[in-house]
Structure formats: C-alpha cells, structure tokens
Amino acid sequence: MSYDMTIFFESDPSDRLPQLIAAEADLTIELEAAGVTVRRGKGTYCCSVGEPVRVEEEDLPDAIVSRSVSFSFQVDVLVEGSNPTSIARTRKLVRHIVRSLDGVSWDPQTEAVDPKAARRSTPSTPAGLVNLVEIDWYAPRREGVAAAYLDATRRYLPEAAPRRFGSYEPLSFRLDRDGPDRFVVEAERGESLYFKGAQPVLDGSIMVDDRHGTRVSLSILAQNLDDPAWRDGVRALFLELSGQLDCFFASAQVIRNLTWSGRQIWHGLEAESAYSSFWREGWMGLPPHPVWWAYLGPQYSPLIDLNGPGVSRRGDAAFIELSTEPADRDALSRSLPRRGLLRRPLPWISPTLQMKPVDDHLRMRPPNAERADVVPEDLAIQVATAGYRMRSPVR
C-alpha cells in the first residue's frame, strides 16, 4: 500500500528541488537514479520523490488543466506503506515545494488541488468602451455538440461553462440547478441556445441545423487575454473544439469599442461591426480582413499557403496565429510581411477565399459583402451562390 501525490511545474525544477528538500531541518536525502529518497528524524523512511519528467497537456488531470495549460513537468511523490507520520510529513513537504517553486499539487486519493485558489485572476473591467474577442466555430451538422462543449470548457476554461441558458430571454435554466443533461437536451431542440458565462467570458450560443450546420459562438472581454494564463486556456479551448467538431473554419477576432456597463455589453454607435460568414442565402466565405486566430479544416487547408504568415499544420488542418496577444484587424494588417516596391502587405489568406466588402457602410451589422470567389465544395452546409451580395438593413 502506498500514498501518491503529483506536483506540476511550468518549468523544469531539477536544479532546485533536491536542495530545497535537503534544506528542511528534519529531513535528509539520498540521491537515487530515479530521484531522491527522503528520510526524516534519525533516518526513518519518509517518501520517494521522482525525477521531473515532461508531461503532455492531454495527460494532465482536469482540475490542473482548468487552472493553466502551461504546466510542462511533473514530479511524482510516493510514500511506501501506510505510516501516518510519514504521510503527514510528506504532505507538508509537498505544500512547501508548491509554494517555493510555484507549482500545483494533486492528491489522487482525495482529488484535492493545492493551492485551492485558481491561478487565473479576473481583474475588474471598468465601465466604458471595451474590446471583445469573438470566437466562432463552423462545422457540418454534428451530434453531441453541447456535450463536447461542456467537456472542453470543464477541462480548459470553466468560466465558459453555461451558468444560465435558454432559447430566449430571460434565460430560464441554470447549470448548477438543472444539470448538464438539460443543457444537452436544450441544445438538441433545433433552436438557437444562448448562455451566459463567468467573467471574462460574457455569453455564447450553440446552433445546429441542416441548413447552417453547426455554429458555436463565444464572447470574451479582450483585456484579460493579455494574461498568458487566460490566453492559454482560451487557445486550448479554441483548438480542442475546432478538432472535436471537425470544423471547416473557426476564428477568434477582436471587435472594438463595445459599451460595457460593468455587468452587460451592447453595441453603441462607436462599436465596430463584424462581417458575417453565413447570411440568408448560405455560407459567404472567410472574413475580408485578418483575424487573430483562424482554424482551417481539411476543406480549406489545401487552398491556402501553408508557408504563409503565422501558419502551422495540425494534422490535415491548419492553424493561423497572427499575433501572440489579441490584436484588432488594423494592427494585424500593419504587422503582416510586406513585399514589392510599394511595400504592400501580404494578404492574411488567399484573397479568393475572402468575402469582398461591397461599400463603406461599416456601421451596418453585419457590413455588406459579396460572396468569396472560391468556396470549397464539400462544406456540407448551404452555400450562397457565386456573386451573391448580402445587404443588411439600414440602421
């Protein structure tokens, strides 16, 4: 019988860990090939501390991933036997290691995580004009979309879980009262399902039908994503759902100058408008401006330059990341590589795949646009006819 614990670190603690343990007045260490043996008092066995080893994101316990996705190393701590004094001293040692080396421990016997407080903090966003990061996932019609969303948010971004949800305001269901099964049932009714998250996640929606296929949307206050702890969680959620839902396209883009009351968000006169990739007649193509992140599934990835700015392969798909921190469309355009005598920026993606703005009425929601010249044939959703122009009502 043994008692096991695991400590997770963002960087390799090999150079500091043995010295930290040996500095404890009542402990001594014996260096072994696979780590150190720790003894207490006059030489009584206390525990064994393994060598730091690399750990992959998918192998992290859910409770650890939801804190941060940047942990890269783990150290296993083992107490052989069931001596209560050794177990108590080992748990105290683990707490000391966690606090000294900025780690997080996990006790599989009790599912306890130390420290209990989440690593991510949510700074308050004062009322006024703010930027949002709008995330959209597009895929053919899929079963199990809501269940996949719940699983991914639980693992990577608990703040994006649906605290309240329903098909219309006021949202009548609560996840803590009605349970995840009700969320799944409501999402499968064929209507748009709307939900509220916890800050910095504001709200989102799920829509699944034969015409539109699958669309999942999420809105997040942008200022929080300057913090890597938040940004890494959102990035992991973005890529996980893109793959799980077999998306042909997904994007994360910054929308500027929305009005924030401190509790609610709305589009005022200053708000930037986002182009809609899906309109009344069907799929219109990709946005006509750079976006912060873009995921292109196997339908789109063969049509792009895989050596283009920010492009990386993900199996038969591609991921484009044009900046580390969230940046708006104008900042991204300025950052693109330039070529030729006129130093014109390279397009973020092939212009033939992008919708074409029709006029300058950018306050329209969404702005008017013409369908992209090239749309893959196998999207399995309704596609607008070639040359189709969308016209928003004048506001």
Q: What is the pLDDT of residues 133-176, one digit of tens each?
A: 999 999 999 999 999 999 999 888 989 999 999 999 899 999 98
Both 252 and 371 in a single domain?
yes
Per-chain mean pLDDT for the chain: 91
What pLDDT score does 67 carry?
A: 59
Q: What is the pLDDT of residues 229-252, one digit of tens each?
A: 899 889 999 999 999 999 999 999
Is 99 part of a structural domain of the chain? Answer: yes
CA 343 vs. chain centroid, Å, equals 35
The residue-averaged pLDDT of 337-362 equals: 83
Both 167 and 47 in a single domain?
no
Question: For residues 282 and 138, is the Cβ–Cβ distance under 8 A?
Answer: no
Q: What is the pLDDT of residues 184-226, one digit of tens each?
A: 999 998 789 999 999 999 999 999 999 999 999 999 999 999 9
Is 119 part of a structural domain of the chain? Answer: no
Q: How many CB atoms lie within 10 A of CB 2?
A: 11
Q: What is the pLDDT of residues 75-127, one digit of tens each?
A: 999 999 889 999 999 999 999 999 999 899 999 988 888 886 555 667 778 89
Task: Tell me how many domains the chain contains.
Answer: 2
Question: For residues 144 and 211, is the Cβ–Cβ distance under 8 A?
Answer: no
Both 108 and 134 in a single domain?
no
Both 174 and 251 in a single domain?
yes
Tokens standing for residue 133: 């990061």
Q: Is 80 exceeded by the pLDDT of residue 296? A: yes
What secondary structure does DSSP assign to 318-370, as a single string? EEEE--SS---HHHHHHHS-EETTTTEEPPSS-GGGB-EE-SS-TTSSSPPEE
Tokens standing for residue 15: 């150079």
What pLDDT score does 76 carry?
A: 96
Is 184 part of a structural domain of the chain? Answer: yes
Q: How many CB atoms lie within 10 A of CB 114?
A: 17
Both 180 and 258 in a single domain?
yes
Domain that holds residue 46: 2-114
Both 211 and 340 in a single domain?
yes
Q: Is 60 exceeded by the pLDDT of residue 395? A: no
Both 135 and 105 in a single domain?
no
pLDDT band (50, 70, 90) for residue 66: low
Strands (DSSP E) found in 97-127: 104-107, 112-114
The residue-averaged pLDDT of 254-272 equals: 92
Domain end point (choices 91, 114, 137): 114
What pLDDT score does 124 carry?
A: 79
Tokens standing for residue 196: 């509220």
Both 97 and 145 in a single domain?
no
Q: What percent of the chain has pLDDT over 90?
A: 71
Q: Is 90 exceeded by the pLDDT of residue 10? A: no
